[in-house]
Amino acid sequence: MKETTAPAGRVLAGLRISVPVILGYVPIGLAYGVLARQGGLTLLETVLMSLFVYAGSSQFIAVALWQAKAEPLAIIFTTFLVNLRHFLMSAALSPYLARYTKRWLAYFSYELTDETFALHSVNLRRGEAGYQGKTILAVNEASHLAWTTASAAGYLAGAVFGRPEALGFDFALPAMFIALLLMQVRRRLDLAVALLAAGLSLGLPYVIPGRWNVLIAAVAAAGAGALCAGPLPAEAAAEAGEAAASAEAGAGAAAGEDRAAVEGGQSRAV
């Protein structure tokens, strides 16, 4: 793998990209630390969870359930349900990460969260030359470090930081998702898929109890998009083994761009 800029430059680029995630993680991590302390956990117990589980909402749920003396197995099962959506994210990133080894992927996926996925999916799809290797891992590590450090800080000195709402920090992540979502919407069909997913995600809790709404909404809306898209123009060519050639040629139609980007990524990796 050839990367053009110096190693330090690549890591700095990753840090810069992860700034909005850090802005969002710090207040939530602080809140988790405060809650964990109130829930009677030790500092070590609090921080190890941020280090090894690293999943915001399920950490909050775990502390609340722990305090309510719930069965550990029930807490673990709830965690599983809440985090099952990462299965989809991991699958969706797969075509863009063919150049890396399984070992690299095993480490990369350990720090895959909603927010880092959002950054990766947009930047990898855009296919910018600098978004690779160390930069990608720097995004993950900076986000994870912010989360873990904030958990500890919240535990030790939660009250000192006051309420994050005063500075609007609670809107950092929604705002980032707005920008990243708009970057993903490139054709009218993307917009339709986004609106369908949003509607399902809001409506499903009224029909199906539990925490299935995000997962089901994403699966269904992406499925509807795939059905409406029809075969991509590039697919016929790919089947004939001319994928690389069509990728070079730019593959024209907007619907073919994704595949072209993927094929381009793979041919660069070889």
Partner 1 sequence: MRSEWFWLLLGMALVTYGPRALPLLALHRRTLPAPLRRWLSFVPVAILAALLAPSLAVVNGRLDLSYHNLYLLAAIPTFAAALLDRRNLFLVALVGMVSLVLLRRFL
The nearer residue to partner 1, 7 or 128, going by C-beta atoms, is: 128
The tokens of 234 are what?
Answer: 């590039």
Question: Distance between CA atoms of 122 and 127, rounded to whole angstroms?
Answer: 9
What part of residues 159-178 is at the interface with partner 1 (CB under 8 A)? Answer: 165-178
Which CB contacts under 8 angstroms, 24+ apart, belong to 170-178? 170/27, 172/20, 172/23, 172/24, 172/27, 173/20, 173/21, 173/24, 173/28, 173/115, 175/20, 176/20, 176/21, 176/24, 176/115, 176/118, 177/118
What one-character DSSP code corresponds to residue 21? Answer: H
Question: Which of 6-14, 140-148, 245-253, 258-266 is the region at the interface with partner 1 (rule: CB under 8 A)?
Answer: 258-266
What part of residues 83-102 is at the interface with partner 1 (CB under 8 A)? Answer: 83-95, 97-98, 102
Question: Distance between CA atoms of 133 and 264, rounded to whole angstroms?
Answer: 17
Q: Does 233 bind partner 1 (CB under 8 A)?
A: no
Q: Does 80 bind partner 1 (CB under 8 A)?
A: yes
Question: Which of 6-14, 131-139, 141-149, 187-195 is the region at the interface with partner 1 (rule: CB under 8 A)?
Answer: 187-195
| Shortest distance, position 142 Cβ to partner 1, whole Å | 14
Query: Which of 64, 129, 157, 182 is in the footprint of partner 1 by CB under 8 A?
Result: 182
If one counts every other C-beta atom within 10 angstroms of the C-beta of residue 225, the result is: 17
* Residue whose C-alpha is closest to residue 88's, from 109, 69, 67: 109
Query: Which of 13, 14, 20, 35 is in the footprint of partner 1 by CB under 8 A?
Result: 20
| Shortest distance, position 87 Cβ to partner 1, whole Å | 4
Q: Does 158 bind partner 1 (CB under 8 A)?
A: no
What part of residues 121-150 is at the interface with partner 1 (CB under 8 A)? Answer: 121-122, 125
| Shortest distance, position 134 Cβ to partner 1, whole Å | 18
Query: Which of 15, 137, 185, 244 is in the footprint of partner 1 by CB under 8 A?
Result: 185
The nearer residue to partner 1, 11 or 22, going by C-beta atoms, is: 22
**Residue 118: partners with Cβ closer than 8 Å, 6 or more residues away:** 176, 177, 180
| Shortest distance, position 149 Cβ to partner 1, whole Å | 19
What part of residues 30-69 is at the interface with partner 1 (CB under 8 A)? Answer: 41-42, 44-45, 48-49, 52-55, 58, 62, 66
Question: Distance between CA atoms of 150 and 22, rounded to whole angstroms?
Answer: 10
Question: Distance between CA atoms of 116 and 107, rounded to whole angstroms?
Answer: 14
What part of residues 199-228 is at the interface with partner 1 (CB under 8 A)? Answer: 199-202, 213-214, 217-219, 221-223, 225-226
Say what the alpha-carbon torsion angle 180, 218, 133, 8 is, to the nearest 10 degrees. 30
Query: Which of 37, 67, 114, 130 is in the footprint of partner 1 by CB under 8 A?
Result: 114
Question: Distance between CA atoms of 70 and 58, rounded to whole angstroms?
Answer: 14
